[in-house]
Structure 1
Amino acid sequence: MVKKRTNRSTSGSGFPYNETSFESSLKEQLNDSPDLKIKTFELNNQTILLAFLTYQINKEEMERSLLLPLTSRKVTWTNASLLNEIPLSSGSSASEIGKLAQELIKGSVGIYIVGESEAVTFFLPNLEKRALNRAETESLVFGPQISFTESLVTNLNVVRWRLDTEDLVVEKIIIGERIKSEVRLVYLKSLANDTNVNTMRQRLTDLKVDEIEDSSVLSQFIEDKSSSIFPQLLMTELPDRFCYAITRGKVGVLVDKSPTGIIGPTTLFSFFESTEDLYMRWNMGTFLRVLRIFAMIISIVLTPLYVAALTFHYEIIPQSLLISLGQSRAMVPFPPIMEALLLEILIELLREAGARLPTKVGQTMGIVGGIVLGQAAVKAGFTSNILIIVIALSALASFTAPSYLMGTAIRIIRFPMIILAGTFGLIGLMFGVAFLLIHLLKVTSLGRPYFAPIYPILLKDFDDSLFRLPFSKSNKLPLANQVKRRKRYPQEQAKKRKDIDE
């Protein structure tokens, strides 16, 4: 005796369905989406239903690789024969209508043979992506010019192209309770420290959020101290910088629909490094790296030092300079602290307006606006011309940081420093610097010291942080990364020079 199957149309029920209940249940799952298409085929005394979202699939690929073999072969189809005989490697089974709906949203085509206990899906997405272009926020003079795109497939292809080794590990992690995003954990198995890998993996898998909009949002969720103004994970849109960090034993993260990668653990000085330092000669790279670090210090303390000297400490100003300072400030009605804050806010307004306007208009706004407003402020007696020079130097120094996030953090730090210097003089400035150093000593990145190699002192890591040695003398990976194997190549072999006739 054969029991009659009952067809249930509720969203929580499983297969089998008849034609009507399948269509109604699938529409219920997709909220009656007008893009849902369900085609019915009567083949060899079978009713076969084809379901897909019109804007999500590659229609040409569906007709060529799926519909043609499905309709041309005179066989009785089953789920097993569909998976084995359809010339597509992306086939899978869906035992519930809810799972089938999720696969359709991702870009799959669903096939249901009426009476079967499962449906079959084939992944045929119509992926929208832009071509590989030059980097916008991290421009280079030397070296590769391509940047990541919003396509995870493209980004992984670029990474595997640059790191062509079986030692490369790429782990898949799904994040998001409501809107799921695919995340890939990337590292070299023979180099990356297991603790770093496990820490990053645990923070990704334990994250319970509705959705992840971008990799920059993800980094804020998984970093050690979210209340700190300093970024603790390095964000980059350059594949060469991402791969360079991976080959130094760090861990990388790529997020679908995001054009930037995440690198960790990292140190403060990593944000002032650039892969361009490697492509130049070692003495040029060292000069530029030291220049960026010096520019960071200048950007933080120069304007507060000016405010403190004019407010409390006239005695530290040379007499010849004091006369010109007095003349330039003769018509200024504001105290130095108000004058400096006014100009700093003006600089930030110009920078933000230039970034939000179209490119050509933004460049004009930044140049013309700075010149016109600066000259008008001096003539109107709102500020002195010497302070304009000081503010301009501080702003230029902050723009030398290769990382946009670090440059923004430096600019923000100047405001409390100016307030402390204008209120308490050099004592307030030193208090602010001390507080900043204490904070940097407490910050960590994936549990690793953020202020290395200054604290803890790692003299052998100065090569990769503060300056760059010739490659013949730089044959070991940094201690701060805690890699499994530090030696990159034999130093003796790197120093050998042989003529062609030897």
Structure 2
Amino acid sequence: MFFEKKNKKATFKKQTGDLTRPSKDKGEKQSTSSTSEVTTKTDDWQPISDSTDVFIKKVKEQIHSPADLVIRYVTDSITILYIDNLIKEDILNGKILPVLQNIQEGTPSSIHSQLPLPQVNVENKLNQSIDTMLTGAVMIHVAGHALVTMVLIPARESRGLSAPENESQVIGSQVGFNESLSTNISLVRRFILSKNLSNEKLKVGNQTNTSLSILYIDGVASEQNVNTVRQRIQALDIEDLIDSAELAELIDDSSLSIFPQMLLTERPDRFCDGLLGGKIGILVDGSSMGILCPYSFIEFFQSREDKNLRWPIATFVRLLRFLAIFISIFFTPMYVASLTFHYEVIPQPLLVPLSESRARVPFPPILEALFLELIMELLREAGARLPTKIGQTIGIVGGIVLGTAAVEAGITSNILIIIVALCALSSFITPSYMMGNVIRLLRFPIIILAGFWGYYGIMLALCVLLIHLLRQTSLGAPYMAPFYPPRLKDLGDSLVRLPYPFIIRKSPNSRVENADYSKKRVNLKGDKEKVKE
């Protein structure tokens, strides 16, 4: 399986070619328009028959005669076809059928001109018209004409807007994305009322034919990054695409790395904040998560709420997050290494409590730590998968009961339970759910190295981890920016959050050097002044 995945990735890279080289062809200038339609594949030419019976027969053959295909004969020459539950029945009965029944001259051009709806087109390709019907359109065929009129009136069920569940915040917007692409785009346009907001529509998946939109601000986002994202998506040759998380893994720089190179967010305000910072956003129809890229390692630990807090408080919270990362990854391995090889690093007052706590434990520290960490992960997964009320009960009661029983049975020590609980609590401080999963996973190999080689094993793991992070990129941009390569002027919004007058709006991974937008800031008096790059 590993070699198959590797070969598949190599094929993908070969198809995309040089993805980081911006296109200079004037024909690709259409990507900067506010709304452009891009397709990932071309259909073979299949004409539409002017005979109604032949036309209906070909449509049934193409879509294998589904039970929800509705065929209605409006008049002697006009026939409509549509998929049940994919269109708005009230619009069909109130605005389309009355016009078709009272029309004087039944031709595709006259129908197109008399229908009081915005999305009406005349098609001459059978495959293209069927694809449009499957997205929620009514197909109107007139006998004697090799054309068909398509009226797009989609009706897709979607849940109402609600607060984000995985990215909650106290101060700021309390609305999240849902599974409707049109609704999510409207949420973005609610925050960004700019004519420079570009929206490119594509379709991915030979079976699902999933719609997605690439959003960016023209003149702010790097054209090279936009071309890279567009080319990688167009080069995909897959059967299905269900969620945005799948797309992010398919188009990132290194799918074999456990570190995410693109952010998945369900917050429209965080999504729009990234667009305003020069990033590229991707929204997938049917997914409640938006993709932002390029994204650096340090940005995964920044929250949108940091900008809503006063800068000293936001700086303290950010530093607290990085301290929590260190605690979550290294505290349990340090416990294992200290008790296995390095008793001399333990303070004298702690030696007696540690000895008494481990007096009844028959296992070495490495097995004791792995056992407790595994129990903690089982409790976390059980609490996340069960219904809300039951999950909370399992997490609290299960943790208390199992912890107390493990100590009384002599399987583990009290001090290790405190350390493991502190590490688990620290891992939940990360604003990004995907990065939090990475931090929890990193503990296990480091614990094993600490159990075999002590602090030397921890340092080996740290060196390998740093080398891996320094080698990673996101859309070709350094993953460890602004620390590597160092950019001192971009450190003001990394580990700390300086006051707004001292922060340049754009991020280092998506900077447009000649954009005036990236060279302006607001001073304390509200006047605008230019800052040299």
TM-score if structure 1 supplies the norm length?
0.93
Q: Counterpart in 2 of 1:41?
A: 74
Greater RCO, 1 or 2 (C-alpha within 8 Å, sep 6+): 2
1:69 aligns with one of 92, 99, 103 = 99
For residues 127 and 275 of structure 2, what CA distance do their matches in structure 1 show? 38
Q: How do 1:21-100 residues align onto structure 2 when only pairs under 5 Å count?
A: 21-42=54-75, 47-73=77-103, 75-100=104-129
Residue pair 2:50, 2:142 contacting (<8 A) in 1 also: no
Residue pair 1:460, 1:479 contacting (<8 A) in 2 also: no
For residues 222 and 377 of structure 1, what CA distance do their matches in structure 2 show? 45
Q: Counterpart in 1 of 2:459?
A: 430
User: What amino acid sits opposite 2:98 in the alignment?
Assistant: L
For residues 21 and 410 of structure 1, what CA distance do their matches in structure 2 show? 61
In the TM superposition, what is the alpha-carbon distance from 1:490 to its structure 2 partner?
4.3
For residues 334 and 300 of structure 1, what CA distance do their matches in structure 2 show? 22
Q: Counterpart in 2 of 1:279?
A: 308
Instruction: Tell me the secondary structure at the aligned position of residue 463 of structure 1.
Output: coil
Matched, 1:487 2:519: yes
Residue pair 1:477, 1:488 contacting (<8 A) in 2 also: no
In the TM superposition, what is the alpha-carbon distance from 1:204 to its structure 2 partner?
1.2
Instruction: Tell me the secondary structure at the aligned position of residue 120 of structure 1.
Output: strand
After TM superposition, the structure 1 stretch with the greater mean CA deviation from structure 2, 456-465 or 92-101, is 92-101
For residues 157 and 419 of structure 2, what CA distance do their matches in structure 1 show? 47
For residues 478 and 66 of structure 1, what CA distance do their matches in structure 2 show? 50
Residue pair 1:472, 1:495 contacting (<8 A) in 2 also: no
Instruction: Tell me the secondary structure at the aligned position of residue 492 of structure 2.
Output: helix
In the TM superposition, what is the alpha-carbon distance from 1:475 to its structure 2 partner?
4.0
User: What amino acid sits opposite 2:94 in the alignment?
Assistant: R
Q: How do 1:170-319 residues align onto structure 2 when only pairs under 5 Å count?
A: 170-319=199-348
User: What amino acid sits opposite 1:29 in the alignment?
Assistant: Q
Residue pair 2:329, 2:439 contacting (<8 A) in 1 also: yes
1:404-428 deviation line (CA, Å, top 9, x unaligned): 1000000000000000000011101
User: What amino acid sits opposite 1:239 in the alignment?
Assistant: P
Instruction: Tell me the secondary structure at the aligned position of residue 159 of structure 2.
Output: coil
Residue pair 2:206, 2:240 contacting (<8 A) in 1 also: yes
Instruction: Tell me the secondary structure at the aligned position of residue 26 of structure 1.
Output: helix
Residue pair 2:200, 2:215 contacting (<8 A) in 1 also: yes
Q: Counterpart in 1 of 2:47?
A: 14
1:450-486 deviation line (CA, Å, top 9, x unaligned): 1112211122222221110111222443333323432
For residues 110 and 161 of structure 1, what CA distance do their matches in structure 2 show? 33
Q: Counterpart in 2 of 1:110?
A: 139
Matched, 1:343 2:372: yes
Change (3 A) 1:71 1:199: same
For residues 300 and 272 of structure 1, what CA distance do their matches in structure 2 show? 15
Residue pair 2:283, 2:291 contacting (<8 A) in 1 also: yes
Instruction: Tell me the secondary structure at the aligned position of residue 464 of structure 1.
Output: coil
TM-score if structure 2 supplies the norm length?
0.88
In the TM superposition, what is the alpha-carbon distance from 1:177 to its structure 2 partner?
1.9
Matched, 1:419 2:448: yes
User: What amino acid sits opposite 2:492 in the alignment?
Assistant: D
In the TM superposition, what is the alpha-carbon distance from 1:355 to its structure 2 partner?
0.5
1:313-354 deviation line (CA, Å, top 9, x unaligned): 001111110111010000000000000000000000000000
Change (3 A) 1:333 1:243: same
User: What amino acid sits opposite 2:73 in the alignment?
Assistant: T
Instruction: Tell me the secondary structure at the aligned position of residue 303 of structure 1.
Output: helix
For residues 146 and 257 of structure 1, what CA distance do their matches in structure 2 show? 17
For residues 505 and 83 of structure 2, what CA distance do their matches in structure 1 show? 53
Change (3 A) 1:458 1:99: same
Q: How do 1:348-367 residues align onto structure 2 when only pairs under 5 Å count?
A: 348-367=377-396
How many residues matched? 482
Which portions of structure 1, spanning 4 or more consecutive aligned residues, are displaced by more than 4 angstroms?
A: none
In the TM superposition, what is the alpha-carbon distance from 1:166 to its structure 2 partner?
0.7
For residues 280 and 257 of structure 2, what CA distance do their matches in structure 1 show? 21
Larger Rg: 1
For residues 474 and 314 of structure 2, what CA distance do their matches in structure 1 show? 25
For residues 125 and 474 of structure 2, what CA distance do their matches in structure 1 show? 42
For residues 229 and 265 of structure 1, what CA distance do their matches in structure 2 show? 16
For residues 125 and 277 of structure 2, what CA distance do their matches in structure 1 show? 45
Residue pair 1:460, 1:478 contacting (<8 A) in 2 also: no
In the TM superposition, what is the alpha-carbon distance from 1:493 to its structure 2 partner?
4.3
Matched, 1:447 2:480: no
After TM superposition, the structure 1 stretch with the greater mean CA deviation from structure 2, 173-182 or 330-339, is 173-182
